[in-house]
A and B are shown apart, each in its own frame.
Chain A
Amino acid sequence: MSKRKAQSVWCGVRGIVIVLAWAAASASFCCAEPLSSTEIISQAARYDNATVTYTGEVIGEIMRRGAYCWMNTSDGKNALGIWVPVDMAKDITYTGSFKSMGDMIEVTGVVHRSCPQHGGDLDIHAEKIRKVQEGRLRQEKLNTEKLKYVFIAMGILGAIWILRRLLYR
């Protein structure tokens, strides 16, 4: 009796392990680990129509197109175009430019290697967006080293100007 019980427990454990392994494998392919832009671009055929997770900084401008908008998002290597419903984008405060660091977002969406809706662009159609980190304005301090070089260069320019006048006086 105890042997049969042990066998049935073992079968149950084995079943759970198999189910968990299958779930882990499919999750790793779909969306568990965030993918980099390099992986998505260089293996576009592999991820075509797959749901992936991608994290990056919103850069440039959010360009509204009707009920949707384009949100270009860079992970530092490349920037990818994310097609987002306007409602999902309303929490974005900062976009990356010279004067600001954009919000970092985690996008879960479907990769299109050659999007039929957008003229064959490689893009991601967002299903979910989560702000990972708030962006900020960049405080620009005047570089005193550069200022010093400006004065030195101005001095040299003045000297050349005087030399020129002296040469052809």
Chain B
Amino acid sequence: MILKPNIHDIKNIGYYLGKVLMGLAITMVIPIATALACREGNPCLDFVIGFVITLCFGLLLTALCRHTPHVAGEALRKTPLASPEQDLNWMQGMIVVALSWIGAMFLGAIPLFLGGHFVSYLDACFEAMSGLATTGLTLVQDLDHMSYAHNLWRHLIMFIGGQGIVIVALSFLVKGGSGAFRMYVGEARDEKILPNVVHTSRFIWLVSAVYLFLGTMALGLAGTLNGMKPANALFHGACIFMAAFDTGGFAPQSQNILYYHSFPFEIITVVLMILGAINFRLHYHVWMGNRKEIAKNIETVTLFITILLTFFVTAIGLNQLATYPAALTLFRKGFYQLVSGHTGTGFMTVYAPQLIKEWSPLALAGVIYAMGLGGAVCSTTGAIKMLRVGIIFKALVQDIKKIILPERAVIMQKFHHVQAAFLEDKQVRSVFFITLAYLLLYGFGALVGMWCGYPFLDSLFESTSASANVGLSCGITAVGMPSILKITYIFQMWIGRLEFLSIFTLIGFFVAAIKGK
């Protein structure tokens, strides 16, 4: 029997959703300050409007959905603020996460739309979801004349989304508890680094803040040496860092990384993309001095092997058409696009039409495979992810051993992920389920693309890029693409970033609300 959600469920979801939206509103203070510092009047107004509307929603939800203690009269008046927060159960936690991302998309798009760089509000929503989900596909118009405040916001939402919107709220606005852990899991992070989930969130922020400083300085220095003014180089450095470490792929200029014409810039961004694609748990162990973990961990080993294999395929493909006659050029272009795709970043050093016109189908297939695989779990990347790919490989080896070895032989497959563990059937089943779900999602977007009249390979490329939160584009993503395709890609970016569970729970919640008793 399906149970209908009750008012307690709705109030609890609404209350935490309100908290998350308040967290989002607070982050809008940063572009407001930037606009004031850069004397950008109208952009400042755009963000004040966005800030106030978001805060209104947050305050309204927390006020209306606040739990009042079951006391009456004088006693209630004496304890007006007593325990308004009640812990979330699994269903509520998942739904808060799913709705938070949708809410953040609609509200985060307000200042973008008001800035006048988007043809429609749908396009601004596309940009906001692309930023939050760290995808990097863009529908922005006239980016080269965008204000500092709006440009910073595009990258900031990438930074927030990469760490996790809920992580922002967990770190500063929500008390730690089992409910907090459920929201944390709902945001596709099933690994705790520290025993307390709030401490885990704060550690993730600490890691990101340290890298933000180092990355911005490195990119700022490279920019200055490449002929940019120091202040502008630092701004670009901060934006590019946020997009690289959070494997997003936006850039402050329309040419993306090609704007800089700089080899050092490319090297630094490759390092940042790989750092962003590594599990935060691994970062923690390396920070604690356990450097051997890098070489032993199943995720890093799998990442290394898959990068080599997919680059091999891409390089053969590029060689077929002799697009880049010199070997070094082939390596520089091929490897950059490949790593960008594999880590789910989406930075480009070629123009989008070049991918389709000058790269052979084999080279594109190599990049599509890489995009579909993704980075590590508990990182900022999307897609199937390295732990799952590694486990599938181990399960395959185990099954082959079962066939080859005598029936009586006891076969236990081990893998190392921070600690040694035995492969369990339950784990393998779960991994296969998520992998299958991703493959279906890639296929679904490709079908919609073909239905809209695009060729198969182009549709598959763009669909995989959206679902795996990559952001590489072969040219389909443009203002003129059909609205149905824009909505499909928004849906794919959302579901791909949250790894299905929260979305399935949300669907289940609506089904229960209609059919439940």
Query: In the bound complex, what is the Cα–Cα distance between A65 and B224 (angstroms)?
Result: 11
A116: contacting residue among B56, B329, B353, CB under 8 A: B329
Q: Which of A63, A76, A78 has the most CB of B within 10 A?
A: A63
Name 23 interchain pairs, CB-CB below 8 A, sorted by A. A44-B354, A59-B253, A60-B259, A61-B228, A63-B261, A70-B261, A79-B253, A81-B259, A81-B261, A97-B144, A114-B324, A114-B333, A119-B263, A119-B328, A119-B329, A120-B330, A140-B40, A149-B45, A153-B49, A156-B56, A157-B55, A168-B68, A168-B81
Q: A121 an interface residue at 8 Å Cβ cutoff?
A: yes
Considering only CB atoms, which chain B residue lies closest to A70 in the complex?
Answer: B261
Query: In the bound complex, what is the Cα–Cα distance between A76 and B476 (angstroms)?
Result: 18
Stretch binding the partner chain, chosen from A4-12, A23-31, A125-133, A158-166? A158-166
Bits for A38-65, please: 1 = Cβ < 8 Å to B, else 0.
1001101100000000000001111111
Query: In the bound complex, what is the Cα–Cα distance between A93 and B259 (angstroms)?
Result: 20
Q: B392 an interface residue at 8 Å Cβ cutoff?
A: no
In the complex with contacts A114-B329, A120-B329, A157-B351 CB distance below 8 A: no
Contact A143 B56 (CB under 8 A): no
Considering only CB atoms, which chain A residue lies closest to B259 in the complex?
Answer: A72
B226: contacting residue among A63, A79, A120, A157, CB under 8 A: A63
In the complex with contacts A121-B261, A146-B49, A41-B351 CB distance below 8 A: yes
Contact A161 B81 (CB under 8 A): no
B145: contacting residue among A64, A97, A123, A167, CB under 8 A: A97
Chain B contacts for A38, CB-based, 8 A: 353
A150: contacting residue among B52, B254, B353, CB under 8 A: B52
Contact A63 B228 (CB under 8 A): yes
Q: Which 10 A-B pairs have the closest CB atoms?
A: A63-B227, A120-B329, A153-B52, A59-B144, A64-B227, A146-B45, A164-B63, A98-B147, A120-B333, A41-B351
Q: A109 an interface residue at 8 Å Cβ cutoff?
A: no
Chain A: minimal CB distance from B96 (Å): 20
Query: In the bound complex, what is the Cα–Cα distance between A63 and B255 (angstroms)?
Result: 15
Query: In the bound complex, what is the Cα–Cα distance between A62 and B226 (angstroms)?
Result: 10
Query: In the bound complex, what is the Cα–Cα distance between A108 and B321 (angstroms)?
Result: 28
A79: contacting residue among B48, B81, B254, CB under 8 A: B254
Q: Which of B52, B226, B326 has the most CB of A within 10 A?
A: B52
Considering only CB atoms, which chain A residue lies closest to B58 in the complex?
Answer: A160
Q: A154 an interface residue at 8 Å Cβ cutoff?
A: yes
In the complex with contacts A79-B253, A157-B55, A160-B56, A120-B351 CB distance below 8 A: no
Chain A contacts for B59, CB-based, 8 A: 157, 160-161, 164
Q: B192 an interface residue at 8 Å Cβ cutoff?
A: no
Q: A122 an interface residue at 8 Å Cβ cutoff?
A: yes
Contact A74 B144 (CB under 8 A): yes
Q: B399 an interface residue at 8 Å Cβ cutoff?
A: no
In the complex with contacts A62-B227, A122-B351, A140-B41, A45-B358 CB distance below 8 A: yes
Contact B326 A120 (CB under 8 A): yes
A146: contacting residue among B53, B55, B114, CB under 8 A: B114
Contact A142 B41 (CB under 8 A): yes
Residues of A whose CB lies within 8 Å of any CB of B are: 38, 41-42, 44-45, 59-65, 69-70, 72, 74, 76, 78-79, 81, 96-98, 101, 113-114, 116, 118-123, 140, 142-143, 146-147, 149-150, 153-154, 156-157, 160-161, 163-164, 167-169
Chain A contacts for B354, CB-based, 8 A: 41, 44, 122
Bits for B50-85, please: 1 = Cβ < 8 Å to A, else 0.
001101100110010010100000000100110000
Q: B187 an interface residue at 8 Å Cβ cutoff?
A: no
Chain A contacts for B55, CB-based, 8 A: 157
Chain B contacts for A64, CB-based, 8 A: 227
Considering only CB atoms, which chain A residue lies closest to B42 in the complex?
Answer: A143
Chain A: minimal CB distance from B71 (Å): 13
Chain A contacts for B325, CB-based, 8 A: 114, 116
Residues of B whose CB lies within 8 Å of any CB of A are: 40-43, 45-46, 48-49, 52-53, 55-56, 59-60, 63, 66, 68, 77, 80-81, 114, 142, 144-148, 226-229, 232, 253-255, 258-261, 263, 266, 323-326, 328-330, 332-333, 349-351, 353-354, 357-358
Contact A72 B253 (CB under 8 A): yes
Contact A119 B332 (CB under 8 A): yes
Query: In the bound complex, what is the Cα–Cα distance between A113 and B353 (angstroms)?
Result: 13
- Excluding A119-B349, A146-B46, A160-B63, 13 further A-B contacts by CB distance (< 8 Å) are A45-B357, A74-B144, A79-B253, A79-B254, A79-B255, A119-B263, A119-B333, A146-B42, A160-B60, A167-B66, A168-B80, A168-B81, A169-B80
Contact A96 B144 (CB under 8 A): yes
In the complex with contacts A59-B253, A140-B42, A149-B49 CB distance below 8 A: yes
Considering only CB atoms, which chain A residue lies closest to B53 in the complex?
Answer: A153
Query: In the bound complex, what is the Cα–Cα distance between A59 and B58 (angstroms)?
Result: 39
Contact A74 B49 (CB under 8 A): no
Query: In the bound complex, what is the Cα–Cα distance between A164 and B57 (angstroms)?
Result: 12
Chain B contacts for A156, CB-based, 8 A: 52, 56
Chain A: minimal CB distance from B69 (Å): 11
Contact A98 B40 (CB under 8 A): yes
Chain B: minimal CB distance from A56 (Å): 11
Chain A contacts for B77, CB-based, 8 A: 169
Query: In the bound complex, what is the Cα–Cα distance between A122 and B258 (angstroms)?
Result: 9
Contact B227 A69 (CB under 8 A): yes
Chain A contacts for B259, CB-based, 8 A: 60, 72, 79, 81
Query: In the bound complex, what is the Cα–Cα distance between A44 and B410 (angstroms)?
Result: 60
Q: Which of B145, B228, B323, B358 has the most CB of A within 10 A?
A: B145
Contact A78 B227 (CB under 8 A): no
Chain A contacts for B147, CB-based, 8 A: 98
Chain B: minimal CB distance from A81 (Å): 6
Query: In the bound complex, what is the Cα–Cα distance between A29 and B148 (angstroms)?
Result: 40
Chain B: minimal CB distance from A107 (Å): 16
Contact B258 A81 (CB under 8 A): yes
Chain B contacts for A143, CB-based, 8 A: 42, 45
Query: In the bound complex, what is the Cα–Cα distance between A123 and B45 (angstroms)?
Result: 39
Chain A contacts for B81, CB-based, 8 A: 168
Chain B contacts for A61, CB-based, 8 A: 227-229, 232
Query: In the bound complex, what is the Cα–Cα distance between A72 and B43 (angstroms)?
Result: 25
